[in-house]
Amino acid sequence: MNRKKNAQLVLGLILVGFCLMFAPAAFAQDHAAGDAAAATSSGLAKMGGAIGAGLAVLGCGLGIGRVGGSATEAMARQPEAAGQINTAMIVTAAMIEGATLFAVVVGLLAAL
């Protein structure tokens, strides 16, 4: 039950991050560059991008931690398959890192 609540919390935070990241497009209006509404909209975009990048790194850490823990447990159960398990673990961790790098770049581009 605790994992379900944690998953709901993380999904909620991701949703808030995406909403903040795309807020400037939703509130786009014809205002002067020095207007307060434009400054607020830009601030929301930066905050959304930062939250999105932070959540991506958090998700990556959790994902790689689960992969590493499961692989270690599998190697302990079947030591003769440790080489194959280690290879699969490294490939999976690399794929998680690649997706995280993409998400962080997108979040930081939204913040700039």
Which of 11-15, 53-57, 97-101 has the lowest average pLDDT? 11-15
DSSP letter for each residue of 63-102: HHHHHHHHHHHHHHH-GGGHHHHHHHHHHHHHHHHHHHHH
Higher-scoring residue by pLDDT: 2, 74: 74
Tell me the pLDDT band of 37, cut-offs 50, 70 and 90. low
Contacts 24+ apart (CB under 8 A), 99-106: 99/60, 100/56, 100/57, 100/59, 100/60, 103/52, 103/53, 103/56, 104/53, 104/56, 104/57, 106/52
* Mean pLDDT, residues 15-43: 61
How much of the chain exceeds pLDDT 90, in percent?
27
Entry pTM: 0.61
